[in-house]
């Protein structure tokens, strides 16, 4: 029994050992190196340009049973949240109408960074490299007190496309990847091979780390650090030309980064350099448990003019 336990521990250690060797640093490209965007000078939609009828039809062909699986976490004051953000909801009774049917009304007042809490979708105004955003729009030129005049989340629209779950936790044979494990491009490729799938341009790429099991149960650990993709994996994914990349953790990427000299580089790689949207804090337990690795992905951010992102409630349909 002891030998079996030692063998199992060794196997798990070997499974995660490659991350140290594959970890790498990153330096942002200059504006001249990355602009204009491949979608054209002045473009504001980036990977949202994949939202075309052919991708909708491709997604629809994946629906066999009509089962809907919700991928969004419930918004509440006790959810994991960054210390700089807040979510408060106050319910109020508005009035009792005087007519004979006694119709009463209830409403709520929410104060929150509605674009950056819960299951959240990052727009291109969310991150910069210095003063420069996606497609080299300059923050000082497009920022106003009431929102961004370019790159606002209202430009995204409805996203219906093929969704692909890359189950890295399943590949490693664990329910949850270790704290700060850096997912490599090799991990992603091996997981896809194990699932007999390949990525296609315009996919919604969803990465299962298992970290979502901590949501609402150990919020302090959930927020402190997390496993996620590293620079190499992000650059490989960007070359696959997805519509978006999401995961069941706070930043999608490994946190903190293995290189203490850089801060959340994957956000810059996706949002600023390549114009690829990020989808954070997904609920993936049901999707992974049922091994639904390919599905129709449906989501639309709120029409918040000039906002940096949107709280969302995406679904998978199979």
**Nearest Cα to Cα of residue 157 among 128, 134, 123:** 123
Q: Tell me if the bond preceding 36 is cis, omega within 30° of 0.
A: yes
The pLDDT value recorded for residue 238 is 98
Distance CA 289, CA 305 (A): 37
pLDDT in 10s for each residue of the chain, 318 residues: 544 444 444 444 445 554 444 456 799 999 999 999 999 999 999 999 999 999 999 999 999 999 999 999 999 999 999 888 999 999 999 999 999 999 999 999 999 998 899 999 999 999 999 999 999 999 999 999 999 999 999 999 999 999 999 999 999 999 999 999 999 999 999 999 999 999 999 999 999 999 999 999 999 999 999 999 999 999 999 999 999 999 999 999 999 999 999 999 999 999 999 999 999 999 999 999 999 999 999 999 999 999 999 999 999 999
Please report, for the chain, the start and end positions of each structural domain, with discontinuous segments joined by +: 23-80+115-317
The DSSP call for residue 300 is -
pLDDT digits (tens, 9 = 90+) for 20-68: 444 567 999 999 999 999 999 999 999 999 999 999 999 999 999 999 9
| Chain length of the chain | 318
The pLDDT value recorded for residue 145 is 95
The pLDDT value recorded for residue 10 is 47
Please state at what angle helix 2-22 crosses helix 185-194, rounded to 10 degrees: 130
Write the class of the CATH domain 23-80+115-317.
Answer: alpha beta
228 strand-pairing partners: 182
For 188, half-sphere exposure in the C-beta direction (CA atoms, 13 angstrom radius) is 26
The pLDDT value recorded for residue 161 is 98
pLDDT digits (tens, 9 = 90+) for 230-245: 999 999 999 999 999 9
The pLDDT value recorded for residue 4 is 46
Mean pLDDT score across all residues of the chain: 93
The pLDDT value recorded for residue 25 is 78
The pLDDT value recorded for residue 132 is 98
Distance CA 77, CA 94 (A): 22
Distance CA 38, CA 274 (A): 8
């Amino acid at each position: 029994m002891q030998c079996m336990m030692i063998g199992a521990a060794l196997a798990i250690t070997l499974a995660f050992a490659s991350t140290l060797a594959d970890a790498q640093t990153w330096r942002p490209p200059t504006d001249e190196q990355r602009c204009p965007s491949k979608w054209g000078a002045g473009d504001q939609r980036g990977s949202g340009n994949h939202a075309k009828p052919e991708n909708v039809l491709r997604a629809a062909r994946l629906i066999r049973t009509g089962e809907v699986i919700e991928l969004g976490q419930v918004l509440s004051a006790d959810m994991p949240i960054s210390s700089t953000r807040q979510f408060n909801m106050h319910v109020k009774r508005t009035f009792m109408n005087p007519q004979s049917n006694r119709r009463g009304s209830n409403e709520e007042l929410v104060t929150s960074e509605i674009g950056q809490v819960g299951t959240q979708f990052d727009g291109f105004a969310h991150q910069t490299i210095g003063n420069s955003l996606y497609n080299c729009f300059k923050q000082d030129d497009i920022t106003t007190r009431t929102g961004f005049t370019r790159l606002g989340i209202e430009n995204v629209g409805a996203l219906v496309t093929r969704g692909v779950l890359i189950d890295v936790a399943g590949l490693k044979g664990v329910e949850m990847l270790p704290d700060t494990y850096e997912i490599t491009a090799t991990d992603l490729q091996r997981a896809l091979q194990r699932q007999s799938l390949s990525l296609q341009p315009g996919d919604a790429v969803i990465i299962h780390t298992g970290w979502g099991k901590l949501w609402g149960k150990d919020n302090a650990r959930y927020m402190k650090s997390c496993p996620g993709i590293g620079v190499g994996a992000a650059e490989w994914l960007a070359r696959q030309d997805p519509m978006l990349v999401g995961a069941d953790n706070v930043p999608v990427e490994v946190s903190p980064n293995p290189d203490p000299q850089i801060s959340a580089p994957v956000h810059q790689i996706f949002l600023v350099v390549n114009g690829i949207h990020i989808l954070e804090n997904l609920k993936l337990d049901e999707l992974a448990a049922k091994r639904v690795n390919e599905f129709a992905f449906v989501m639309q951010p709120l029409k918040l003019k000039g906002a940096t992102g949107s709280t969302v409630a995406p679904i998978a349909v199979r």
